[in-house]
Structure 1
Amino acid sequence: MKTLAQFFDHLPLLPMRWEIQRNDELSGIGSGVVFQAELATPLWSAAIALQPVRLPEANEISALVNGLAGAQEPFLFRDPYICGPKLDPQGAGLGGVAVTVSAANGRSLSLEGMPAGYRLSIGDKIQIIASGGTHAFVEVSENVVATAGGTTGSFQVFPRLPVSVSAGASCSFARPACPCIILPGSFQSGTPSGNIVTGIAFRIVQKRGVQ
């Protein structure tokens, strides 16, 4: 998997938004009752657009995308404009501590090793690296406050945690990244005007279970 330095850091990104790509099947009956079946785990996705660049830089970006071999090689991707939790935007309050999972079960998570009183807010993102190096990327679904001892009670996250996440998995709240691939056929190499290329864009989607 490509690190942030190998792919993400080379992209002059415009603001982006993480979205959820659901994989649901809906059916209904005459009374108006609707049934929903989740066919696969929801995945994070985003529409990516780049700032105008000079032609040589556009060629470099195209080469980086080509080097991913379609959807064969995943890469880490993060929101460039959000660097930390809502109440600690730069992640300074974490002070370099090592936060780990103390328990995980489905959509429930509890943590240890946090600074005393540290707060997480609904919508904050967490990058989790499980045993064996597999990555997970989840969103906090309820407000959380660490105790004086740096632990939290069980709180909900979204989407469901992979089974690889268990006690001892490491957590990152500062610049959390998600393993992704570029959706096949979504890359637009842009339109040149003189030496400037505009309109470079692509779509990304999460790839689960990668190291």
Structure 2
Amino acid sequence: MPLSYPISLALFQDKFKISMAQFYVNSPRQVDRTAGGSQNSASLGDAVWRGSFSVPPTNQRSVSAQLDALLSVLDRAGSSFLVYDPSKCFPAEDPGGSILGGANVTIGSLSGTDARLMSLSGLPASYQLRAGDLLGFSYGSSPTRYALHRLVEDVQASGAGSTSLFEVTPFISPLATSGAAVSLVKPVMKAVLSPDPDYGSHRAAISSGKQFSFVQTLR
């Protein structure tokens, strides 16, 4: 059956091990210095996530060949996949997500004037989130867009499971809406592969050196 895009976690990221990962927000901007020494900064576009994965050596040639096939499919125009940060699968205070359980977490509110601020509803009572925790949600249709945000500050839910407004990065899309379902466990973004992934080397008994980079897409 032909692949559909974005390729799911089960069909891509969860099929292979990762030995090293990078995940960071890239904010393209220009900085100019005036004659008086002032630094003038201007944004050159929306901030997006970038990342890269390195894959450990393996003597399972079939596993290596499967990844090669997937990379070759993704290394062409129009292909995309879902991806999460393997080092931050869960909130810092809830390793494994057992406290969160099956809670139906949603966006509680969004600031009408400040794209940095949001609140959450549906958390367990007094649930703690830490600066650096990640959250994700989807918005829009045709295509569905996948937002990924990092908390800038600590926040704790009330006894009723809602939080006050807190700051996240990057900025929240104006298309996001309150009530949208929020994921705190393996929050994903939609990404495209950067050109020329490294397929590594293949010897008789082992394959090694695979690594590739990717960038978030908001379309």
| Interval of TM-score (by shorter of Structure 1 and Structure 2) | over 0.9
SS at match of 1:160: coil
SS at match of 2:62: helix
1:19: Cα distance to partner?
Answer: 1.5
TM-score (norm 2): 0.89
Long gaps (5+) in structure 1? none
Q: How many corresponding residue pairs?
A: 208
Look up the match of 1:163. 174
- How does 1:84-103 map onto structure 2 within 5 Å? 84-103=90-109
Q: Name whichever of 153-162 and 75-84 sits farther off.
A: 75-84
For 2:189 and 2:85, the matched residues in 1 are separated by: 9
**Residue 61 of structure 2 is aligned to residue 45 of structure 1:** no
Look up the match of 2:40. 35
- How does 1:61-210 map onto structure 2 within 5 Å? 61-105=67-111, 106-130=115-139, 132=141, 133-185=144-196, 187-209=197-219
AA of the residue aligned to 2:166: F
Look up the match of 2:3. none
For 2:188 and 2:172, the matched residues in 1 are separated by: 16
Q: Tell me if structure 1 keeps the 8 A contact 2:53–2:212.
A: yes
For 1:176 and 1:71, the matched residues in 2 are separated by: 25
For 2:39 and 2:122, the matched residues in 1 are separated by: 43
1:57: Cα distance to partner?
Answer: 2.3
Q: Name whichever of 92-101 and 17-26 sits farther off.
A: 17-26
Q: Tell me if structure 2 keeps the 8 A contact 1:15–1:81.
A: no
Q: Identity of paired residues, percent?
A: 27
Q: Tell me if structure 2 keeps the 8 A contact 1:138–1:157.
A: yes
Q: Tell me if structure 1 keeps the 8 A contact 2:146–2:188.
A: no
> Segments of 4+ in structure 1 off by > 3 A?
none
For 1:101 and 1:131, the matched residues in 2 are separated by: 15
For 1:70 and 1:90, the matched residues in 2 are separated by: 35
For 2:190 and 2:110, the matched residues in 1 are separated by: 20
Do the aligned partners of residues 129 and 152 (structure 1) sit closer, same or farther apart at CA in structure 2, a change above 3 Å counting? same
1:69: Cα distance to partner?
Answer: 4.8
AA of the residue aligned to 1:175: K
1:195: Cα distance to partner?
Answer: 2.6
Q: Name whichever of 62-71 and 192-201 sits farther off.
A: 62-71
Q: Tell me if structure 2 keeps the 8 A contact 1:73–1:181.
A: yes
Q: Tell me if structure 2 keeps the 8 A contact 1:131–1:169.
A: no
For 1:46 and 1:69, the matched residues in 2 are separated by: 15
For 2:120 and 2:85, the matched residues in 1 are separated by: 23
RMSD of Structure 2 on Structure 1 (CA): 1.5
1:71: Cα distance to partner?
Answer: 4.4
Q: Tell me if structure 2 keeps the 8 A contact 1:102–1:166.
A: no
TM-score (norm 1): 0.93
AA of the residue aligned to 2:162: T
1:83: Cα distance to partner?
Answer: 2.3
Q: Tell me if structure 1 keeps the 8 A contact 2:108–2:179.
A: yes
